[in-house]
Amino acid sequence: MEMQTELNNVWIVAVKEFTDNVRSKRFILIGIFYLAIALICAAITVYLYSLTKGDILPGMFTPAGVFSFMGIFNSILALLSLVIAADSISIEKKDRTIYQLLAKPVERCSVLLGKFIGCTGVVALFFSASAVLAYVLTIGLTGVLPASGEVVSVVEGIIGMVLLLAVYVAIALLVSTVTRNTLISVIGAIMAWAGLMFLNMLGNIVGMASMSGQPMGEYPLYANVLKWLDPMSHNVMDLILSGQAVDASGLPLWANVVILVAYMGILLLVSIEIFNRMDL
């Protein structure tokens, strides 16, 4: 019975977080960014197809190619996910509404999980809508129908990308938990995003340096670990849509999914522990 009550509390907090985001001016602004990305990627794909369709062998072009161009914007999509969730807790502290929320019969972990689910729902809505729009526009403007099984792969790829972006929501939630000022929360989330990208870049630099004068191969483990700390290095959408067995680091699809889920789980557990110990 108690478990059912807390699940209901999680759902109530999640719905409120989702609707608050949808009603905000930020929702419209971020939505414009997602719309622009979808239109740009579709336009690039259609343009390149129009230039080369006479040279492409039958069956070589598929509308799913638009997601290759969306991948260029993955870092921006991750940043937008951070911005959506960065002040989810800190704004409650700033406005002192957190006291009203915790005065109700609701566990602190339920508040955090509800915030996470609500923000992830917003991110999923944005990305799924933009991805489907880009895909449908590419199909309509090129006149090329999806290959057999492609739609299933696209759906799986979108789910994989939402999982990746959910890790960034968890990062933002952790930052928001330890801060009290909304501006500091956003700045802290952006710094975390930049730091993770730096580690990824450092891993590539160290990996390349370790193979200087040697035949190209996989990076040593320590270089890969630096890369793996960046969630963006576990882009399961690319693996699903490309049909590759392993990524550039030698990790199979299932391993990347496990790492993302574990990454997200650890971040949420740390956030819950900090929030439970926090004197509000």
Helix, strand, coil shares of the chain, percent, nearest 5, are 80, 0, 20
Q: Are 87 and 185 in contact, with CB atoms under 8 Å apart?
A: yes
pLDDT higher than 60, residue 56: no
How far is residue 144 CA from its own chain's centroid? 29
CA angle 16, 17, 22 (to 5 degrees): 95
Sign of the four-CA dihedral 261, 189, 280, 111:
negative
Predicted confidence at residue 278, as pLDDT, reads: 80
Predicted confidence at residue 58, as pLDDT, reads: 53
Model confidence, pTM: 0.92
pLDDT higher than 70, residue 113: yes
**Among 170, 167, 152, CA closest to 235:** 167
Q: Per mean pLDDT, which range of 9-13, 58-62, 149-153, 225-229 is the poorest?
A: 58-62
pLDDT higher than 80, residue 26: yes
- Across 19-48, average pLDDT: 93
pLDDT band for 180, please (50, 70, 90 cuts).
Answer: confident
Distance CA 83, CA 50 (A): 36
Distance CA 195, CA 60 (A): 38
pLDDT higher than 90, residue 91: no
Which residues, including other chains, have CB under 8 Å from residue 265's CB and lie 6 or more apart?
none
Which one-letter DSSP state was computed for residue 56?
Answer: S
Task: For residue 206, give both structure tokens.
Answer: 């160290």
Predicted confidence at residue 3, as pLDDT, reads: 78
pLDDT band for 192, please (50, 70, 90 cuts).
Answer: very high
CA angle 168, 238, 136 (to 5 degrees): 95
Predicted confidence at residue 272, as pLDDT, reads: 93
User: The domain containing residue 134 runs over which residues?
Assistant: 2-277
Name the more confident of 221 and 29: 29
pLDDT higher than 60, residue 112: yes
pLDDT higher than 90, residue 215: no
Give me the number of domains the chain comprises: 1
Q: What is the mean pLDDT of the chain?
A: 88
Share of the chain above pLDDT 90, in %: 56
Which residues, including other chains, have CB under 8 Å from residue 51's CB and lie 6 or more apart?
none
pLDDT band for 97, please (50, 70, 90 cuts).
Answer: confident
Distance CA 236, CA 153 (A): 11
pLDDT higher than 60, residue 161: yes
Packing angle, helices 150-178 and 108-142, rounded to 10: 140
Packing angle, helices 108-142 and 25-52, rounded to 10: 30
Residue 27 burial class via C-beta count within 10 angstroms: exposed 0-12, middle 13-18, buried 19 and up: middle
Predicted confidence at residue 277, as pLDDT, reads: 87
